[in-house]
A and B are shown apart, each in its own frame.
Chain A
Amino acid sequence: MNAVPKMRTWLALAWGLVVCLLLATDGYLWLGKHIAPDTDILALLPTEERDPVLQQAFGHMVDAAQQRLVIVIGAPEWNDAKRAADAYNAVLARHGDLFQPQSAATEVQSDWLAQWSRHSLVLMTPAAQAQLRQQPADYWVEAARGRLYNPFSGPKLGAWRDDPFGLFGDWLQERAKETPVRPRDGTLFVSDGKKQYVVLPLTLKAPAFSIAAQESVLPALREADAAARTQFGAVEILKAGVILHAAAAGEQAADEVSTIGVGSLFGVILLMWASFRSLRPICLILLSIGVGFLGAFIVCWGLFGRIHLLTLVFGASLIGVAQDYGIYFLCSRLRAAQEVDSFALLKRIMPGLLLTLLTTVIGYMGLALTPFPGLRQMALFSAFGLIFAWLTVAAWFPFIVGKKAMQSGALVRGYGALLARWPRLSTRPASYVVGLLFLAFALAGCLRLGVNDDIRLLQNPSQQLVKDQIAIGRLLDSPTPVQFFLVRGATAEVVLQHEERLTARLDGLIGQHRLGGYQALSNWVPSLQTQQARRALVEDKLLRDGAALSKLGGELDEEKDWPAVTRAHLLESSALLTPDEFLASSASEPWRFLWLDHAGSSVAGIVALRGMDNTGAALVRQAGIDIDGVQWVDKVADISSVLGKYRAYMGWVVLISYAAVFLLLYPRYRIDTWRVLAPAAVASIATLALFGLCGQNLQLFHVLALMLLLGVGVDYGIFMQEHPGRKDLTPWLATGLSAASTILSFGLLGLSHTPALQAFGLTMLAGTALVWLLVPCFGREGA
């Protein structure tokens, strides 16, 4: 150890101090603070610079939806469903800290109807308004008389004279149709004709995306399920809520982290054992990877204050690259002459070692420049993980790995012998033929490559949850939170007028069965303009002397003053309704999310849509296209288009990275630089062509994998160029070990059930294998 340079000792000790700090901090974070990674997939998407009103509108729709959990409990007989629901509720009541039940009683205030009494004359359906214009007085006389003699007009909204023509009653009936859910026996009820369902709307008290909430909510629901089944065995229990998806996705990702991480490690360990017949190299590589992982975690936590679960999944794949440095050093040690000491050896391979790190980190820096917070996190996590792993190798390995530490196994000898027979690219005709064939294959494949940027590719929701959600959506006929109209204007009156123009067109689409219905504040509070027009119409067609009311009085043989008295009575309820008055009433509680009054200087309303398929959505969108202040909002399409933009953007980053790496390598390799890059480039093109031929659509995550492939491929290219010729087996060995373990880890990623990760894994699987096979072909003739 006398030969150890003093500087190196200091560096190793300093690095030891850093690693101790990392360990302490990680221990504090994980064990002391119990931090948990994020699972919200939306956190991976860019925070767009949008106008605040739109953001608020989306917040209204999504925040409300996000914290909601709907349980629907059904049985053929109402009493069975009710008993099961009571048992369910009893369990939930014990978990009052988790759920806020939405009681039916708050929806059915006893003075609910009284709130309308001052306005009933001006509230009517658009259809009734049209009929008022068209129908003669006799029509209305007949209508009123029919209602008058109606045998069971017993229970009704007020006395007959409060609404003799039934306009207000029809309006309320139409409002009731906005939801099929009805109060019954102190709870909410809905039916599909076959079964009777109790609806339990719940609001979560903790954020849906917090792991703690998921961990306590799910068991509580399972307990409630069991309780309901003891009451009625065949009970049908449907559930829908963001939290269920978040929990399922979180569970899946957590599962996969352990499968992929453990599987990858196990594969690598086996491989190393077969190569070196010793546990020592494995421990060393694990050490470097471990320090890299812990260090990256701390840096990310420090920079972002949080860490996403997908970052960790991606980080698990870091093993594939971080091992390269250790492997390179160990393989060099294995092949180096016994008299060369490890410090001299490190010095000798340092240029190549440094280049492998720099080229990969450059690639990740390109990733860090994207506006996706998730990608930035992954990029920084990876870059720092690699730097920490590299520093561990550089600072410690020469101390730990002595001159005679390494022994090669049988696998190494057999595999090493392969290199001598490996084909090499040359100027012989055969090479041109192969080149031309490849070109044809690449062209054919790449031309077939389609793209698909659908956001739904990022997730793979549980089939059961999706089925439940569809069933509940159909039962409750609830509006979609991701597609709606945002209607803006300078004043509330303007917004309501815009909404009315829009809803008039939507009514046409409902008639054509393209749209199930819509919810809008203007349904409840028509614009003042409309209310005035309706009042004028009522006065002219019904109340005026000689109109329907006085004819009716004559027909019923009432006193002379009856029409005048009744008219005066009706006009008492002709006050115009304002949004403020409505929003202050308890009746508006379920509809307040439709109105955004404090969104900046202007006022905005939401027109929510329900019962709409994809073709319907296209038509509905058209309906709003040329109305002032009306904007179609489609969050799914928006996010998908962002993903598409970044797929294209990332494509350019990959190309620029190739150029940057080329420039970085040129001073060292000069004319042979292309040989370093060619394997990665050819493998990438071949992988894309393969996907094209298999009918896979290109998405962002394929392109991200190509980025990583560049880092891996260039590492192997550098190994080869650092040891030209085929006598030195070091690069071939390092490439083989590294590529095999990369494939092991990414092959497992290809098994992921999250489509995005699968795309990533498959790209790496095919790409890495190809790079491995191609690297010797591009090697220089032996020196």
Chain B
Amino acid sequence: MKKLAFLFLILLATAPTQAAVPVQKIEAMLDKPKVLCGRFEQSKQLAGMKKPLASSGRFCVVSGKGVLWRTLQPFASTLRLTRNEIVNFQGDRVAVRLDAQQEPTVRMINSVLFSMLAGDLSQLDKLFDVDGAIEGNGWHVVLKAREPALAKAIGAISLSGDNYVRGIKIDEAGGDRTTISFSGLQSGEQAMQPEEAALF
């Protein structure tokens, strides 16, 4: 997580331009619920490793609050991103806490991750070149950081979905690849489980 924070130091260096036409069209397809929760399956193919590493869990995106990302398998680990901090719980123990006071870019990191999960493409458009396509009910976009240094470090991110974001793929320049897919998406207050609500 800290690595990620640092990387964002060299991020965010671009001027917003007019959004391309597909972005607005895709935005129109997306629902923007106040609360969105669901399951995720994550698969990582890391450089130098033969086997992909699978993990799964639940996530919630609450507008105005932030993101809760609960890895349940193969071991429990929770990541909470709010406006002013990033906290990583290992079980009940706080493993890492990074607040905006210490690291001014925390807010921007959180806003980008929130936008990715919530499909807020116009927000992402400020930092990334968004190249999108629409196929029937679904859509697909490739994000490429406008800042060359950042683009080189994170490689390409692609999102796909319909009325929600259904999948994220990250191809890093270092050779690591991450694929995340979402299922069982629910919106509205009742989508959150009590222990999740307690964490926010």
A residues with CB within 8 A of B: 104, 108-110, 112-113, 142, 145-163, 166, 169-170, 172-173, 176-177, 180, 182-186, 189-191, 193, 556-559, 562, 565-566, 569
Given A166-B2, A177-B103, A148–B47 Cβ distance below 8 Å?
A: no
Shortest Cβ distance from residue B141 to the other chain A in the assembled complex, whole angstroms: 16
Cβ-defined contact, A556 with B53, below 8 A: yes
Interface size on B, residues (CB 8 A): 58
Cβ-defined contact, B174 with A162, below 8 A: yes
Given A110-B149, A159-B175, A189-B104, A166–B3 Cβ distance below 8 Å?
A: yes
Cβ-defined contact, A176 with B103, below 8 A: yes
| Closest A residue to B157 using CB positions | A154
Measured in the bound complex, the distance between the Cα atoms of B100 and A193 in whole Å is 8
| Closest B residue to A161 using CB positions | B48
Supply 14 further A-B pairs (C-beta < 8 A) apart from A150-B77, A172-B3. A112-B10, A146-B77, A146-B88, A148-B44, A149-B75, A152-B69, A155-B154, A155-B172, A156-B7, A161-B48, A183-B13, A185-B15, A191-B100, A191-B104
Assess whether B160 is interfacial by the CB under 8 Å rule: no
Which of B77, B101, B176 has the most C-beta atoms of chain A within 10 angstroms of its own C-beta?
A: B176
Assess whether B150 is interfacial by the CB under 8 Å rule: yes
Assess whether B29 is interfacial by the CB under 8 Å rule: no
Cβ-defined contact, B174 with A108, below 8 A: no
Cβ-defined contact, B4 with A156, below 8 A: yes
Cβ-defined contact, B104 with A146, below 8 A: no
Assess whether B19 is interfacial by the CB under 8 Å rule: no
Cβ-defined contact, A152 with B113, below 8 A: yes
- Sort A-B residue pairs by CB-CB distance and give the 6 closest, nearest first: A159-B174, A155-B154, A169-B3, A154-B170, A110-B149, A159-B47
Measured in the bound complex, the distance between the Cα atoms of B150 and A112 in whole Å is 11
Measured in the bound complex, the distance between the Cα atoms of B106 and A189 in whole Å is 13
Given A146-B90, A159-B48, A569-B48, A173–B13 Cβ distance below 8 Å?
A: no
Shortest Cβ distance from residue A545 to the other chain B in the assembled complex, whole angstroms: 18
Shortest Cβ distance from residue B169 to the other chain A in the assembled complex, whole angstroms: 10
Cβ-defined contact, B103 with A184, below 8 A: no
Measured in the bound complex, the distance between the Cα atoms of B88 and A176 in whole Å is 20
Measured in the bound complex, the distance between the Cα atoms of B2 and A115 in whole Å is 20
Q: Is the interface of B mostly helix, strand, loop or mixed?
A: mixed
B70-112, CB under 8 A of A: which get 1 and which 0?
A: 0100110101000000001010000100001111110110000
Cβ-defined contact, B174 with A154, below 8 A: no
Q: Which residues of A contact B150 (CB under 8 A)?
A: 155
Measured in the bound complex, the distance between the Cα atoms of B107 and A152 in whole Å is 15
A172 interface neighbour in B6, B51, B95, B149, Cβ under 8 Å: B6
Q: Which residues of A contact B157 (CB under 8 A)?
A: 154
Measured in the bound complex, the distance between the Cα atoms of B69 and A185 in whole Å is 28
Measured in the bound complex, the distance between the Cα atoms of B69 and A161 in whole Å is 23
Assess whether B180 is interfacial by the CB under 8 Å rule: yes
Cβ-defined contact, B10 with A108, below 8 A: yes
Assess whether B133 is interfacial by the CB under 8 Å rule: no
Assess whether B34 is interfacial by the CB under 8 Å rule: no
16 A-B Cβ contacts within 8 A?
A108-B13, A110-B149, A110-B152, A145-B75, A148-B44, A149-B42, A150-B77, A151-B42, A156-B7, A160-B47, A161-B48, A185-B15, A191-B100, A191-B107, A193-B100, A558-B50
Measured in the bound complex, the distance between the Cα atoms of B8 and A144 in whole Å is 21
| Closest B residue to A110 using CB positions | B149
Q: Which residues of B contact A158 (CB under 8 A)?
A: 174
Measured in the bound complex, the distance between the Cα atoms of B124 and A610 in whole Å is 37
A148 interface neighbour in B7, B53, B180, Cβ under 8 Å: B53
Cβ-defined contact, B108 with A184, below 8 A: yes
Q: Which residues of B contact A155 (CB under 8 A)?
A: 4, 7-8, 11, 150, 153-154, 172
Assess whether B191 is interfacial by the CB under 8 Å rule: no
A156 interface neighbour in B50, B71, B100, B153, Cβ under 8 Å: B153
A160 interface neighbour in B40, B42, B46, B148, Cβ under 8 Å: B46
Q: Which residues of B contact A169 (CB under 8 A)?
A: 2-3, 6
Shortest Cβ distance from residue A164 to the other chain B in the assembled complex, whole angstroms: 9
Cβ-defined contact, B51 with A173, below 8 A: no
Measured in the bound complex, the distance between the Cα atoms of B104 and A153 in whole Å is 19
| Closest A residue to B48 using CB positions | A161
Shortest Cβ distance from residue B174 to the other chain A in the assembled complex, whole angstroms: 3
Cβ-defined contact, B10 with A186, below 8 A: no
Shortest Cβ distance from residue A104 to the other chain B in the assembled complex, whole angstroms: 7
